[in-house]
Every structure is written in structure tokens, then in C-alpha cells.
Amino acid sequence: MAVKAMKDKTRESSLPEFRNEPFTDFSRPENRSAMQAAVEKVRGQLGREYDLIIGGKKIRTAEKFCSYNPSRKDEVVGVFQKCTPELAARAVEAAHEYFPRWAKAPAEQRAGTLLKASQILRRRKFEMAAWMVFEVGKSWAEADGDVAEALDFCEFYAREMLRLAGSQPLTPVSGEENELRYIPLGVGVVISPWNFPLAIMLGMSSAAWVAGNTVVLKPSSDSPAVAAQWMGILQEAGLPSEVVNFLTGSGSVVGDTLVKHPQTRFISFTGSKEVGLNINEQAAKTAPGQIWIKRVVAEMGGKDSIVVDSDVNLDAAVEGVFVSAFGYQGQKCSACSRAIVAADVYDSFVEKLRARAETIRMGAADDPDNYMGPVINETAKKSMLEYIEVGKKEGRLILGGQTAPGDGHFIQPTIIADVAPKARISQEEIFGPVLAVLKARDFDDALEIANNTEYGLTGAVFSNSREHLEQARSSFHVGNLYFNRKCTGALVGGHPFGGFNMSGTDSKAGGRDYLLLFTQAKSVSEKI
């Protein structure tokens, strides 16, 4: 055991301590030029066709679909295969067949492959950001942040796998030699979203395979090109092509097949509450031939609030709300969609926020001078406009409320004040640049309002009162709570991310317990 402990210590100490990837400073001319070159390079690659990958083999189907640039809604980013239920079942079965081989691969090999992929991704940082600029309408800064988070997931999960592969602390038992080891589960179905098309997709799938599982990856149909670029990086890094199966197409067509298949061991999902609840329900039903209880790891969104106390620097609070509400067009599950403001400073806050939001420049995401780009697609834009019409009746429109000019799916930053706590736009997830502002009588009332939705993902409090901050620490029921800063921008390792209630299973992505969701603990005791 002493020799094994020494090997474990050597294994973990061979890597430098994890540090978050720094963001790119685009005010520096060399960075700006490099990003512009990457944008032009990717622009020249738009419109290519991509294959399914099942059991390491590339497959094309008769039916295709396209992903489009939301900044220029008719510009094709890529052409993709429409996966069928039959091919989806084949992917699960191929992953199941390869699983025993991959499960036996040493943890050092799996972690080493992920670290090599991280090195390749870091070299292509600007290029991968450019793909997100075109496919999902992220600004340069937002796309760069997505890549940085993806790199953090690679580096963090590789280290976590090495930690879990080492000796685990157990209480000594006289006359026995005891060991606890973490082993993989089996086939994981990973259904990833479009809003963080690299970071969340990469984080969900890489955590699964670095732990020794095989994966069926089904990215959002709004962002398959970004996922396809990552698949190319995995191939270059030397990951066996059978480990991650790559499916594109409609989740409504293949989702049930993937979730219900008896050889599916777990499902990792990020998306809407409705889809997540359906996955959870279907996974709970035991299929003929199934010999395990399927796990579901789900992140399902939020209705996130920032509370502004009466004793704060209003400019700082306004900036925190502004960035949280309108960064990436409010298309983050962590975005601030409700500002709950103490009555004493309410009117001043609303006026300052309106003035700040009026400075936003909107337009195509490939122009680095635009702060806000498009929303993801026509369906989302229509839904947001319908909510705005509801909001006009439920509160006082003080900014925006309309589409914005351009060839893409543009909506003005919208602020609706004087909203009641139980109004629809105060309760339902809008997932766009629409902010409701609510007046609270006092801090107790503000916290009560903050907790009055079915969600519990992120929240923030701006206050100079230690008493109020401590009250929020214990009473504000969210998975990620921030004081005197924005409620977006969780950092891997520092802010393990996941929410309560209908926000999901509180999976804590980027935390030290995340890989445990994709493993099972086996205890071995030997009498000596």
C-alpha cells in the first residue's frame, strides 16, 4: 500500500496546480488581429457538410439539415445529417460494445488524451471562438469566454480523474486491507445546448469519457458545427474514434430512442425544464433487458434575480445587473432576468439602468464593436416578442420592446419596470434580453420575492450590510449565489455550477464532485 500511495502522489503532482484560463484582451492589437484572421478563416469554411460518427465510422443520411448564422439568417454555417431512430439505437449499441475496452484504459491514458486535446484547443483558441461567432451569434468576448471555460473543463477534469484514480481515504480496519475505487458506469447519452456550444458540450461529454465511459453525443441542432470541430480535435488528440459517437438531428426524433434504450446507463442533459423533466420521467422507466437504474444529470435553466439593497453604490449595482441581463443577449441560464430593488433607491436605479442600456450597440456578432448580437433563431425571437407584449401589460416598458434592424434575429435590449412578483414575466424563463424590474419594500421582502419562483439556479445581492449578506447566505435558495458582483460567469473550480428545484439536479459542473456522477464506487476488502 505504501508503494501505491507513493505512485498516487507522483501521479497527481506531475501536473501543475489547476488555474483558470485567462480571458483574451482584445484591446491589444495583436489579439485583435489574430481574432480577425480567425474570423476570416472560418468564414471561408462555412457551408461544409459533416458526417455522423457511429462506432468510429462516418455515416451520411438521405435527409440533411443546415445550421445558420443568426446574424445573417440565410447564411449556412454547415450541412448535417438527420439521424434516425435506427441510427441512434445503433450508436448506443456501438458504444456499449466498445465500453469494456475503454473502461480498462488506465486513468493516466484517458486524462492524458484530454490534456492533449486541451493543448490543441488552446492553439486553436481564436478559431474555435470564431465558429461560435458565426453559428450562435456570440460576441468576440463571449466566444472567448466560452473557449476559456472549455479549456478549464479539460484541465480540471483530467486532474480530477487522476485524483479519483488514486488511493481514497478509508477508516483502518484491524486485520483487513481495504480499498475504494471509482469505476465507470457504461454508455452515457450527452444532450448539449446551443448557448455554450463548446464549453458545456465539451464539459458534459469529456467528464463522461475521461471517467472511462463511452458516449453518444447529440449537440443542439443550432450548434452542430462547433461540436463537429471538437470531434476533429479529439481525433487529432488520439481518442479512439469508438469512444464518442456523434449524432446530429432533431432531439424530438431520436431523443426517446437514446433515453429509453436498455443499454443507456446515464443521460447528461442541459436545456429546457420541459425536456429535462421528460427525460427524467422516461429514464425512470425500466426497459426490457435493462439491468440498472439509469442516472440523469440535468441542468434545466432558471429565473435568476439580483437583489439591490438600499445602501449600495448604485453605479456598481447597475453595471452588475446590466452585464448579467444583456451579456450574450440574456441567453444564459444564469442571466439576470429580474432586478429586485429596494424602494429607497428604486427610481434612481431604474433611471441609471435605462441610461446604461441605451449605450448598447447591436449588430452582427463578427463586428467586434457590437456589444449585443442576435438571438439564436426565429422561434426564440417570436417567443421573446410574445413575452414582451405580455410584459407591456404587466409593467411599464422603459426601454426596447421591438426587433432591431439587420439581416439576423435581432431584438432590442428590453427593460420592463414596476413588475409584480407573480407576473408571468417575473416567473417564466424568457431566455433573452428582457429584464423585469421589481420594487421591494425592504430587504426581507426582496429575499421573499427572490425565492418565489420554481427555479433556483443563480442569484446575486448588492449590499454593504454584513447582516443582510449573511441573511442572504442562509436564505437565498439558489445553487450559485454571488455578493456584490454579477450573477453570470461561474469559473470552473472556483464556482461549481448547478441549481436547485426546477433548475436541475445541482450537478455542480466544474466542481470536485462532478466526476462522481459518471462513476460508481467499488469497495474491496481483503483479510490479512
Active site residues: 299, 333
Buried b / exposed e across 13-51, counting CB within 10 Å, b at 16+?
eeeeeeebbeebebeeeeeeebbbebbeebeeebeeebb
Residue 38 C-alpha cell reads as 480567425
Contact 197, 130 (CB under 8 A): no
Measured between alpha carbons, how far is residue 90 from residues 16, 204, 213, 245 in Å? 41, 21, 17, 10
Output the DSSP codes for 231-296.
Answer: HHHHHHHT--TTTEEE--S-HHHHHHHHHH-TTEEEEEEES-HHHHHHHHHHHTSPPTT--SPPEE
169 exposure class (CB count in 10 Å sphere: 0-12, 13-18, 19+): exposed
Measured between alpha carbons, how far is residue 33 from residues 130, 200, 368, 381 in Å? 13, 27, 11, 32
**CB atoms near residue 272 (< 10 Å):** 15
User: Can you list the positions of beta strands (E) in 441-518?
Assistant: 455-456, 458-462, 480-483, 500-501
Largest CA distance in the chain: 77
CA atoms in the 13 A half-sphere facing the CB of 473: 9
Residue 218 C-alpha cell reads as 447529440
SS3 308: strand
Checking DSSP bridges between strand 396-399 and strand 519-527, what pairing results, if any? unpaired
Measured between alpha carbons, how far is residue 2 from residues 8, 133, 134, 173 in Å? 10, 52, 54, 16
CA separation for the pair 261, 467 (Å, rounded): 52
Contact 265, 290 (CB under 8 A): no
CA separation for the pair 402, 29 (Å, rounded): 35
Give the single-character DSSP code of 223.
S
SS3 150: helix
Length of the chain: 528
Contact 329, 372 (CB under 8 A): yes
Grid cell 461540436 in the structure block, residue = 227
Contact 345, 314 (CB under 8 A): yes
In this structure, is the dihedral angle defined by the CA atoms of residues 271, 277, 279 and 283, taken in order, positive or negative? positive
